[in-house]
């Protein structure tokens, strides 16, 4: 059965490779998008304007998965082993790296509509920095901030606001495009609601990623 399956999949992909041509219709929608949205980064325009409806579902996928991982893990034992072997130089550098990643997060989410970047990238950058700090220096110290800054409440609030703003943009597209075209092309404040959405998505993604990875780290050694 397995052998037949392998032959089948090989033939499927051979047929696919032989049958398509990539030089079909090449669309150039960039002019139209930049004209109406009036921000330089066309990917952000597509992500948060023309296909905002997809993005709402994407945010929901992320929130559901984070909570689902937490709820599925609830019955499994937590690893209480607290001693962590650390290495001096790495500890020093990872602290600096975490600070750097916070700065990079702010830059990427605020300038997401002008330079490469955006909410999702920013959130991942921040989560990577903090998780690296937790793994190399002290996981306990790194996980204190989650309760201290009330990230869970912040996450819920940003989910609500993202949903509200997206609904507004979808229901009243004309108002938002007037807001966008009033500003000067390429400045930080030219994005209308886009930078706000980027910041909120960044927070949301950071909270979800941190939650998932800390659940995995808390159950280390079980697999």
Residues 104-123 that bind other proteins (CB under 8 A): 114-116, 118, 120
**Which stretch in 4-12, 79-87, 101-109, 192-200 sits in contact with other proteins by CB under 8 A?**
4-12
Q: What's the rounded Cα separation, in Å, for the pair 161 and 197? A: 8
Q: Which two tokens stand for residue 44?
A: 């952000």
86 touches other proteins (CB under 8 A): no
Least distance in angstroms from the C-beta of 75 to other proteins: 5
Residues 176-205 that bind other proteins (CB under 8 A): 186
Q: With helix as H, strand as E and coil as C, how does 181-212 read? A: HHCCCCCHHHHCCHHHHHHHHHHHHHHHHHHH
Q: What's the rounded Cα separation, in Å, for the pair 51 and 82? A: 46
CB-nearer residue toward other proteins: 45 or 136: 45
100 touches other proteins (CB under 8 A): no
Residues 137-156 that bind other proteins (CB under 8 A): 156
80 touches other proteins (CB under 8 A): no
72 touches other proteins (CB under 8 A): yes
Q: What's the rounded Cα separation, in Å, for the pair 178 and 181? A: 5
Q: What's the rounded Cα separation, in Å, for the pair 105 and 199? A: 9
């Amino acid at each position: 059965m397995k052998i037949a399956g392998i032959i089948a999949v090989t033939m499927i992909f051979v047929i696919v490779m032989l049958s398509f041509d990539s030089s079909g219709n090449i669309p150039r929608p960039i002019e139209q998008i930049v004209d109406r949205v009036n921000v330089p980064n066309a990917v952000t325009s597509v992500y948060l304007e023309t296909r905002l409806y997809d993005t709402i579902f994407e945010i929901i996928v992320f929130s559901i998965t984070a909570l689902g991982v937490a709820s599925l893990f609830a019955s499994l034992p937590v690893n209480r082993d607290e001693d962590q072997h650390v290495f001096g130089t790495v500890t020093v550098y990872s602290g600096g790296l975490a600070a750097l990643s916070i700065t990079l997060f702010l830059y990427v989410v605020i300038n997401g509509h002008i330079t490469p970047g955006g909410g999702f990238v920013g959130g991942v950058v921040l989560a990577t920095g903090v998780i690296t700090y937790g793994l190399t220096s002290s996981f306990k110290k790194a996980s204190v901030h989650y309760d201290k800054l009330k990230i869970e409440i912040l996450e819920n609030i940003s989910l609500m606001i993202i949903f509200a703003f997206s609904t507004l943009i979808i229901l009243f597209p004309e108002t938002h495009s007037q807001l966008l075209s009033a500003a000067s092309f390429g400045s930080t404040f030219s994005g209308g609601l886009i930078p706000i959405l980027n910041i909120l998505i960044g927070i949301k993604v950071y909270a979800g990623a941190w939650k998932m990875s800390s659940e995995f780290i808390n159950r280390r050694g079980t697999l």
